[in-house]
């Protein structure tokens, strides 16, 4: 007997093939396809609604809020049943007591709290002991972050690692891979990951090769030097023999729009060479990170508090302004990428909430300040712990990238708190991919869009028994109505529930029914290659 029979469903199986009407069953957490007349303990009439594999978030920062109510709201409400976490060089483990303050300072961009047990997470295995006990409504598979590795071994030091330090990082990473980590990630615009030379990254990537690990990279540049950054990222895959995922691939800054023609060509050439390279993308034309990402990263060597103190010096502010206005200053300049302060939107500034929800140029005018003064004052008042959204991309580039066969969907949403303002991608990426690319632009079929959020992601990122509706696969499902499916999150109201999702199942358990959580928490920490 089946535990559940879903009949009269439009089945989208994750392969990209045309959908069809039919029935699908669940028994003991596994899928039963074409169940025929088999009896079931529960029967649901889908009434023509779509049944698809649960969405796989290829780029999530969910490990920073693992098991919290916020985590459930951000992911499950948009149909995500598995997330790949530990991205951009930022992971909750490893963490060592002597450098705990430094790693928490770095991770604060994505969380408002840290578990007491964090001081014990010097190994991934120890972190998993904690994670396995958390109430999860989605599964999670985790990379080890390069910044987290560096902080554990050498703090925030602005220099190449020594041989001894590199060996120590390798040892931690090797233990993590043995315990089930998916690979490792870099965030090469963030401190301290940005202090590493390419050879350090290659040597660390070699550690994950025997485990068929994945190297995911927020590259050194997504603007003026993006082509060079893609070449470096691919070369890591070439030299180490590992799979590569180029994180949140995009072209920042109007002078760089159109460069995806070259970067996508490089990705295709790499795959033809035998280097397995994909990229993930969120379906929006604005990017998001901290406001302090406008400032050259070398000023954060001594941490946020040190920089905050220096911002009280007018001559230091003038020095910063000169560097930030100079396109020759060698860093990924988010201020210039957004076209100036009129393109930089403040989403989080807890000490100055009057600035939230406004572009810096508008906020400055309200305050009767020069925009530069307003920006520096915001950073100083908030200890450089502020969030910004940047108007840096264009529709044409976003649409061309998503149509590439090597592109999959990831949210890159920072999910600190459902109560805070943020970027709509955190709560709306997956329904928005359908409404934007299928309904509005007409550049993907529904089946193609679902594939880029399910089966193709599972293939590229080695998520076993998920991503497809096939006999014996894990019963992770989302039921939605195509006609009414709509992401309601906006830049003004960034955290908002999706319309048109009627059910989300994880491991055969209903976790989200309409817009209500059932209380079931069957999600698991997935070990790589198991």
Give the pLDDT of residue 361. 97
Cα gap 425→433, rounded to integer Å = 10
Extract long-range pairs of 230-235: CB within 8 Å, 24+ residues apart: 230/263, 230/266, 230/267, 231/266, 232/198, 233/277, 234/266, 234/267, 234/270, 234/275, 234/277, 235/198, 235/202
User: Which residues have C-beta within 8 Å of that of residue 110, sequence separation ≥ 6?
Assistant: 61, 64, 65, 90, 414, 415, 416
CA dist., res. 48 & res. 55, Å (int):
20
Alpha-carbon distances, residue 179 vs 63, 128, 183 (angstroms): 16, 8, 11
Burial environment of residue 390 by CB neighbours within 10 A (0 to 12, 13 to 18, 19 or more): buried
Is residue 518 pLDDT above 90, yes or no?
yes
Collapsed DSSP state (helix, strand, coil) of residue 522: strand
* Prior bond of 94 cis (ω within 30°): yes
Q: State the average pLDDT over residues 258-263.
A: 98
Average confidence (pLDDT) over 143-154? 98
Question: CB 453: neighbour CB atoms within 10 A?
Answer: 27
Residue 293: per-residue pLDDT: 86
Q: What is the mean pLDDT of residues 52-67?
A: 97
Query: pLDDT tens digit string along 184-221?
Result: 999 999 999 999 999 999 999 999 999 999 999 999 99
Mean pLDDT of 454-475: 98
If you average pLDDT over every residue of the chain, what do you get? 96
User: Is residue 320 a contact partner of residue 352, using CB atoms and an 8 Å limit?
Assistant: no
- What distance in Å separates the CA atoms of residue 356 and residue 422, rounded to the nearest whole number? 10
Domain ranges of the chain: 4-53+470-517, 55-285+398-461, 290-391
Count of residues making up the chain: 530
pLDDT at 300 > cutoff 90: no
Question: Rounded mean pLDDT of 154-170?
Answer: 97
Can you read off the two tokens belonging to residue 143?
Answer: 């990379």
Give Cα 127 distance to the centre of its chain: 20
Instruction: Answer yes or no: are the C-beta atoms of 405 and 448 closer than 8 Å.
Output: no
pLDDT at 344: 96
Give the list of residues 6+ apart from residue 367 with CB closer than 8 angstroms, or none: 374
pLDDT band at residue 390 using 50, 70 and 90 as cut-offs: very high
Element (H, E) at 84: strand 80-85
pLDDT at site 366: 97
CATH of domain 4-53+470-517: 2.30.40.10
Statement: residue 301 has pLDDT above 80: no
Q: What pLDDT, on a 0 to 100 scale, did the predictor assign at position 530?
A: 79
CATH superfamily of 55-285+398-461: Metal-dependent hydrolases (3.20.20.140)
**Pair type for strands 344-348 and 387-391:** antiparallel
What is d(CA 282, CA 429) in angstroms, rounded to the nearest whole number? Answer: 6
What is the percent of the chain where pLDDT is above 70?
100
Equal fold, 4-53+470-517 vs 55-285+398-461 = no
pLDDT at 304 over 80: no
Mean pLDDT to the nearest integer, 168-180: 98
Q: What is the pLDDT of residue 303?
A: 73
pLDDT in tens, 392-404: 999 999 999 999 9
pLDDT band at 164 (very low <50, low <70, confident <90, very high): very high
What is the C-alpha separation between 207 and 171, in angstroms, rounded? Answer: 9
What tens digit of pLDDT does each residue of 480-515 get?
Answer: 999 999 999 998 889 999 999 999 999 999 999 999
Task: Summarize pLDDT for 74-131 with one digit per residue, the tens.
Answer: 999 999 999 999 999 999 999 999 999 999 988 988 888 999 999 999 999 999 999 9
State pTM to two decimals. 0.95
């Amino acid at each position: 007997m089946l535990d559940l029979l879903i009949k009269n469903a439009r089945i989208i199986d994750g392969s990209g093939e045309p959908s069809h009407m039919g029935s699908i069953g669940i028994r003991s957490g596994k899928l039963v396809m074409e169940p025929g007349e088999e009896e079931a303990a529960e029967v649901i009439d889908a009434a023509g609604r779509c049944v698809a594999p649960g969405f796989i978030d290829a780029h999530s920062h969910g490990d920073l809020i693992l098991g919290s109510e916020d985590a459930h709201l951000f992911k499950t409400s948009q149909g995500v049943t598995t997330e790949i976490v530990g991205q951009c060089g930022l992971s909750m483990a490893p963490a060592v007591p002597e450098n705990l303050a430094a790693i928490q300072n770095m991770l604060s961009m994505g969380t408002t709290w840290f578990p007491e047990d964090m001081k014990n997470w010097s190994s991934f295995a120890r972190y998993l002991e904690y994670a396995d006990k958390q109430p999860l409504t989605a599964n999670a598979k985790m990379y080890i972050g390069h910044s987290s590795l560096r902080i554990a071994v050498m703090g925030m030091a602005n220099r190449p690692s020594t041989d001894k330090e590199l060996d120590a990082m390798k040892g931690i990473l090797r233990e993590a891979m043995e315990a089930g980590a998916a690979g490792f990630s870099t965030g090469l615009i963030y401190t301290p990951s940005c202090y590493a030379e390419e050879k350090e990254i290659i040597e660390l990537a070699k550690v994950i090769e025997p485990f068929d690990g994945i190297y995911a990279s927020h590259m050194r540049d997504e603007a003026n030097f993006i082509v060079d950054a893609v070449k470096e990222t691919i070369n890591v895959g070439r030299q180490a023999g590992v799979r590569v995922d180029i994180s949140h691939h995009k072209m920042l800054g109007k002078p760089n729009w159109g460069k995806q023609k070259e970067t996508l060509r490089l990705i295709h050439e790499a795959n033809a060479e035998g280097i397995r390279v994909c990229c993930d993308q969120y379906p929006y034309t604005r990017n998001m990170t901290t406001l302090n990402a406008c400032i050259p990263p070398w000023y954060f060597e001594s941490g946020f508090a040190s920089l905050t103190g220096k911002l009280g010096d007018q001559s230091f502010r003038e020095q910063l302004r000169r560097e930030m206005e100079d396109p020759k200053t060698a860093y990924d300049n988010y201020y210039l990428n957004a076209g100036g302060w009129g393109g930089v939107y403040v989403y989080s500034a807890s000490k100055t909430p009057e600035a939230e929800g406004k572009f810096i140029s508008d906020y400055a005018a309200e305050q009767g300040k020069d925009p530069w003064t307003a920006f520096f004052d915001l950073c100083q008042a908030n200890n450089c712990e502020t969030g910004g959204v940047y108007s840096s991309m264009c529709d044409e580039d976003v649409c061309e990238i998503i149509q590439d066969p090597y592109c999959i969907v990831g949210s890159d949403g920072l999910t600190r708190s459902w109560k805070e303002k943020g970027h709509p991608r955190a709560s709306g990426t997956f329904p928005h991919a359908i409404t934007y690319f299928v309904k509005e632009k007409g550049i993907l079929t529904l089946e193609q869009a679902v594939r880029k959020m399910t089966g193709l992601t599972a293939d590229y990122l080695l998520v076993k028994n998920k991503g497809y509706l096939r006999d014996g696969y894990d019963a992770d499902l989302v039921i939605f109505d195509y006609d009414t499916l709509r992401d309601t999150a906006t830049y003004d109201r960034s955290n908002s529930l999706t319309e048109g999702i009627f059910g989300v199942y994880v491991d055969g358990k209903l976790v989200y029914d309409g817009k209500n959580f059932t209380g079931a928490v069957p999600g698991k920490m997935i070990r790589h290659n198991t």
